[in-house]
Structure 1
Amino acid sequence: MEPRAADRCFLGDVGFWVERTPVHEAAQRGESLQLQQLIESGACVNQVTVDSITPLHAASLQGQAQCVQLLLAAGAQVDARNIDGSTPLCDACASGSIECVKLLLSYGAKVNPPLYTASPLHEACMSGANVNAAKLHETALHHAAKVKNVDLIEMLIEFGGNIYARDNRGKKPSDYTWSSSAPAKCFEHYEKTPLTLSQLCRVSLRKATGVRGLEKIAKLNIPPRLIDYLSYN
């Protein structure tokens, strides 16, 4: 069987700095046919640029759902961090693309990635003179709040998003909403109404299944209705 492009991209290659590759360009522009051809020809879907941007970051930031799907299916790292500390899920929320967010979550993207874990590159940048530290400690929920997208906010919380997570300014996601606005009322509702036990169980199981969780859940020997619930159908 022919190995996937991601399998041919060794771990050492993932950390190798390059300028933007044709995969990055196709992903950003939404050129799904070109991207598919590049993947089939063996192009690495996890190649990073000098600022640690992967093709999945590029596609997510532009809301290119079809390209996000192709990259994830080819083995793109769903929780890769760029130099600002953002994951593709953060970028998808910044773009306001619900479809991209759904895809990333279905492939096990972490809603609450560690906020204070940084690579040596991040540490070096944080001690430098010109950095974007404001992004180093933000969650996807912070991004959703900033773009004032209630549907995204609800989706992330239902997937276990921490409404009390603080960024490096000490602000919660709700602090980026206007008082009495729809996003503010959404956060207020969830602060007053804890998730149900069934919802907490669903979040915990999805977290345990990790990447490609939907495939694993579909194989469980449980009633179809439970599979649908765990799959957010």
Structure 2
Amino acid sequence: MDINTRSRPSLFGDIAHGLGFWTDRSAVHEAAAQGRSLDLQRLIQGGAPVNIVAVDSITPLHEACIQGQTQCVRLLLIAGAQVDARNIDSSTPLCDACAAGSLECVRLLLQYGATVNPPLFSFSPLHEACMGGNADCVQLMIDEGALMEAHDCHFGTPLHVACARQHYDCAEVLLKAGANVNAAKLHETALHHAAKVKHLGLIDLLVEFGGNVYATDNLGKKPIYYAGTGSPAYLCLEFFESTPLSLQQISRLAFRRKYGSNTLKVVSQLNLPDRIRGFLCYEAPPESQVPAL
């Protein structure tokens, strides 16, 4: 039997679309992954199944998304590709598009009804976007209702991932949208991750949003323990541990705790001076308004 036609009976009886088939990578997989849209279109018009799966349950749509092949994603979806197909790790094409940081592929999948918060045991699409470091993708997923407190048993929340991977822009987007800065994974916070990678910008950002410099992990260690004695990150955390928050910072934290993920919406509806609005939303003032030193 030809290796490309080896299969097991379909549980759903849908042979026309290849559901239930287990094969090696097909010509459809190859064309989708390599962005050969004309070849893919010819294969589809010739009756090639768009939902055929490889031995690891990867569909052609998964392949196109992980490579950011927008035109191939469009052709597959139009031809009836399952938008929420699961691979062997239970990841959907939306997870792969977010991992690739392909904003256009993400938009296409959402237009075709991709589930923003699929029931997964591992990374959510938002986790994947943070892992990939695409802040625009992170923002789009949040706008579409992605759960910012989705928890992965190994990595924690999307904020944990963004900090562990040193993606400042992604962490900033999450925090401005109301992510819980002190969410814990085995008592380990995002600030622990920022300390481990010795990222001064992330440490400052997290503390500005209420990161607890005294929080201890399951080993009883504060973030400063992981920064390395004498390093700039250590000195930064040492300063924050010994310096009380200003009244302005306390006011901002109280405001954000009250309104959480609705903070930006609430602030936009209040008749506030630009400087106060920017402070509450953690926006840097325009250069023309920055006082000279």
Corresponding position of 2:115: 110
1:148 and 2:215 equivalent?
no
- Unaligned 5+ residue runs, structure 1? 1-7, 117-136, 199-233
Q: Write the letter of the residue equivalent to 1:115.
A: L
For 2:262 and 2:45, how far apart are their aligned partners in 1? 43
CA displacement, residues 117-147 of structure 1 (integer Å, 9 cap, x when unaligned): xxxxxxxxxxxxxxxxxxxx11010011111
Equivalent-residue separation in structure 1 for 2:128 and 2:70 (angstroms): 18
Deviations 1:178-221 (A, max 9, x none): 3792211111111144259x9xxxxxxxxxxxxxxxxxxxxxxx
Query: How far 1:170 moved relative to its partner?
Result: 5.5
| Conservation of the 8 A alpha-carbon contact between 2:17 and 2:52 | no
Matched, 1:16 2:21: yes
* 1:185 counterpart residue number: 172
1:66 aligned partner? 71
Q: Given the alignment of the two structures, is residue 173 of structure 1 paired with residue 158 of structure 2, yes or no?
A: yes
State the secondary structure of the residue aligned to 1:194.
helix
Mapped partners of 1:184, 1:107: distance in 2? 28
**How far apart are 1:11 and its partner, in Å?**
7.7
Q: Is the 8 A contact 1:9 1:46 kept in 2?
A: no
1:12 to partner: Cα distance:
8.4
Q: In 1, Cα distance between the equivalents of 2:38 and 2:50?
A: 15
Q: 2:15 corresponds to which letter in structure 1?
A: F
Tell me, in whole angstroms, the C-alpha distance in 2 between the residues paired with 1:40 and 1:173: 40
Q: TM-score, normalised by structure 1?
A: 0.68
Instruction: Spell out, residue by residue over 1:75-108, the C-alpha distance to the aligned partner (whole angstroms, 9 max, x if none).
Output: 0000001001111011111111111111001101
Which structure has more relative contact order (CA 8 Å, sep 6+)? It is: 1
Larger Rg over CA atoms: 2
AA paired with 1:150? A
Paired with 1:41 and 1:177, the residues of 2 have a C-alpha distance of 44
Could you tell me how far apart the structure 2 residues matched to 1:101 and 1:93 are? 7
State whether residues 146 and 177 of structure 1, in contact with CA within 8 Å, keep that contact through their aligned partners in structure 2: yes
Give the TM-score of the pair, scaled to structure 2. 0.55
**Counterpart mapping for 1:147-226 below 5 A:** 147-169=132-154, 171-178=156-163, 181-191=168-178, 192=256, 193-195=260-262
Deviations 1:27-69 (A, max 9, x none): 0000000000000010000000110000000000000000000
Deviation readout 1:143-166 (Å, 9 max, x if unpaired): 111111110000001111000000
Unaligned runs of 5+ in 2: 1-12, 179-255, 266-293
Evaluate the alpha carbon distance shift between residue 88 and residue 180 of structure 1 in structure 2; reply closer, same or farther with a 3 A threshold. Answer: closer
**Residue among 89, 98, 101 paired with 1:84:** 89
Contact 2:83 2:109 in 1 (8 A): yes
Give the aligned residue type for 2:143.
E
Match of 1:44 among 37, 45, 49: 49
Q: 1:12 to 1:72 in 2, by over 3 A?
A: closer
Percent same amino acid at aligned positions?
51
The count of corresponding residues between Structure 1 and Structure 2 is 170
Letter in 1 for 2:261: P
Measure the CA separation in 1 of the matches of 2:87 and 2:138.
22
Matches of 1:40 and 1:33, distance apart in 2: 11
For the aligned residue pairs, the C-alpha RMSD in angstroms reads: 2.1
Query: Partner amino acid for 1:184?
Result: A
SS in 1 for 2:82: coil
